[in-house]
Amino acid sequence: MSSNNNPLIQSFNTPFQTPPFDLIKEEHYLPAFKQGITEGKAEVEKIANSTEAPNFENTLDALENCGELVNRVSEIFFNINSAETNDEIQKIAQEASPLLTEYSNDILLNEKLFERIKYVWENEDQSKLNTEQRRLLEKTYKSFTRNGALLDTEKKEELRAINKELSVLSLKFGENVLAETNKYELIIENEEDLEGLPDFAKEAAAATAKEKDKEGTWVFTLDAPSYIPFVTYAKNRELRKELASAFGSRAFKGDEFDNQENVKNIATLRFKRAQILGYDSHAHFILEERMAETPDKVSSFLNDLLQHAKPAADQDMNDVKEFALKDGISDFQRWDLSYYSEKLKKELFNIDDELLKPYFKLENVVEGAFKVAEKLYGITFTERTDIPLYHEDVTTYEVKNEDGSLVSIFYADFFPRSGKRNGAWMTSYRSQKIKNGENIRPLVSIVCNFTKPTPTKPSLLTFNEVTTLFHEFGHALHGMLANTTYAGLSGTSVYWDFVELPSQIMENWCFEKECLDLFARHYETGEAIPEEYIKRIKDSATFQEGYMTNRQLSFGMLDMAWHGGNPLAIEDVSQFENEAMAPTQVLPNIEGTNMSCAFSHIFQGGYSAGYYSYKWAEVLDADAFELFKEKGLFDKQTATKFRKLLSSGGTHHPMELYKEFRGREPKVEALLKRAGLIKA
């Protein structure tokens, strides 16, 4: 295909140079990848073979600006593969991933290039470099050494092969989970089996049935907006069991979509890779570039929290089991937990999602997030209808500073569909950077899976979905407010156990009256959310927090079990998982289910040896939010300091940024108090 006809290769003639999704077709991706790789390699060779003495400008700065086309195509393509994939896109991913891994290896293992970087690292007068330049030099040098630049030729080739295989296995893992999620349907023909379900869930299930040409029935799926209401409200215990079993057994059935061998192979290859590079384990390799620093520190952190969480989790389980006994449930199981927890919560606090959802119309919550950002940072969001979209559900906004200057373009994609993976995430189609004096602003997106509007109701969010939206919006603000010279240090390009601070801190505003009054209005009457409801939200905020904390710790421990040692002897995935999670066990497992085989965060996403970071960042966010509570939720001075933390990206060590904002290091007590695990 001629590059003249490929919109990915040409300059984007669109508002703000946004991707021309209306012109991009599947057949454009591979040629664009290949051309981008060719161009990138040529740019790298030019730097590597330069006869000029190496310095920061002609080596580090030049390298940072290499590969613009391949980076641009990658950002677009892999975002589409997550949010709007199909068989053809997945085939392209399988073909493109090894090419990209090879391209990356060609750079990281280029001996001449590394010699120049090493020369600058050892000889440049770093006092003449600014903070960001020094940080880029350190990050680049470490990136090369941590990816094999100091190895001999044989070891480099071994590393190349492992990297290539890992890229394919990770993709395959994700495809299997998506295929398993998409293929399952719980078809209900008898209306009596819907007892307990709220109207919105029944309407959504009827709409799903209609989409699937099964009109006259109700279809429930493993997508969160369908799955969660069913296991939370459906009175039919056998059907709750069926759905929970289906969810928990994804990619664990010994069939074509089974991930057991993929999981073992991924863990083994990561371990071998770490060993080649001189590290004891994959976790040792990963944590060298994290705030936590070592596996021992992570294990101590998780175990210290477990001392508080496990007794509280056991008490939470005793409370809900006793409550279920009133219904004659003496053999309490995992598929009973959401159902009876919701009932107990309603009895204790007179609150449930059905009471709150009418006040959380999706459009109002989005507007509320925008108002919070405006009050904190002075930025405004204006919808644009002239920016090309990859799906009709997506909405785009122009984000501006008070002086009218552009902050970002923001994409919001909220509803589930067959081509979109489960969960919620933030991503970007273009990172912020400064090039040739121009501050190139970022293109940022959040992707969620909320309940779709029905013919009679708009999309109404549960309170948990409200906090999810604010969480992802916090990540988005980190990307949007970025203001650094280099894309590699911009926005969310920070240590992985720091990246959740900007997202998790935003959730805190959802519990405060001053914030909820901005947007929580009844979708039919326009009435503001009653003060009594806000009090109940706050009172119930620590309900089963012991269990929830224990659950998160169990995931962190499972992650460290896979990545903190030698996985070569693991034969039985299920047995290994059970042993790893035994210290946190509060309920019997559902037979035939397995967490690891669908644990996309660590086997497909970037959280391997890093799942602990959610709890680590909760310490940071609880401690940081205490300053806002002390000074005022929308205190300008505090917000300005936090904006500086956000806009700095990875230009400083995260603890430096945190101490500059807070005046000291974070204290774990703030999290334990907020969670109700110690007395305030």
Catalytic positions are: 472
CA–CA distance, 292 with 497 (Å, rounded to integer): 8
Q: For residues 175 and 293, is the Cβ–Cβ distance under 8 A?
A: no
Place of tokens 């008898």: 190
Q: Which residue stretches of 430-511 are H helix?
A: 463-480, 501-507
Q: For residues 429 and 394, is the Cβ–Cβ distance under 8 A?
A: no
Task: State the distance between the two ends of the chain, measured CA to CA, in whole angstroms.
Answer: 66
Place of tokens 């959310």: 529
Secondary structure (3-state) at 225: helix
Q: Which residues pair with 528 in a beta bridge?
A: 521
Secondary structure (3-state) at 382: strand
Q: For residues 407 and 399, is the Cβ–Cβ distance under 8 A?
A: yes
Nearest-5° angle of CA 181, CA 184, CA 187? 140
Max CA-CA distance within the chain? 82
DSSP letter at 473 equals H
Extract the tokens encoding 208: 């799903």
Q: Phi then psi for 585, rounded to 5 degrees?
A: -65, 125
Q: For residues 72 and 430, is the Cβ–Cβ distance under 8 A?
A: yes
CA–CA distance, 120 with 136 (Å, rounded to integer): 12
- Identify the burial level of 134 via C-beta atoms within 10 angstroms of its C-beta, where 0-12 means exposed, 13-18 middle and 19 or more buried: middle
Q: Which residues pair with 426 in a beta bridge?
A: 446
Among 495, 502, 504, residue whose Cα is nearest residue 655: 495
**Dihedral of the alpha carbons of 359, 365, 371, 372, in degrees to the nearest 10:** 90
Extract the tokens encoding 455: 């013919």
CA–CA distance, 183 with 451 (Å, rounded to integer): 19
Among 604, 564, 648, residue whose Cα is nearest residue 287: 564
Helix (H) or strand (E) holding 413: strand 406-413
Secondary structure (3-state) at 542: coil
Q: For residues 612 and 560, is the Cβ–Cβ distance under 8 A?
A: yes
Angle between helix 613-631 and 654-662 (nearest 10): 20
Extract the tokens encoding 127: 């006092």
CA–CA distance, 308 with 313 (Å, rounded to integer): 9
- 3-class DSSP string for 608-664: CCCCCHHHHHHHHHHHHHHHHHHHCCCCHHHHHHHHHHHHCCCCCCHHHHHHHHHCC
- 3-class DSSP string for 90-134: HHHHHHHHHHHHHHHHHHHCCHHHHHHHHHHHHHCCHHHCCHHHH
Among 534, 457, 541, 536, residue whose Cα is nearest residue 198: 457
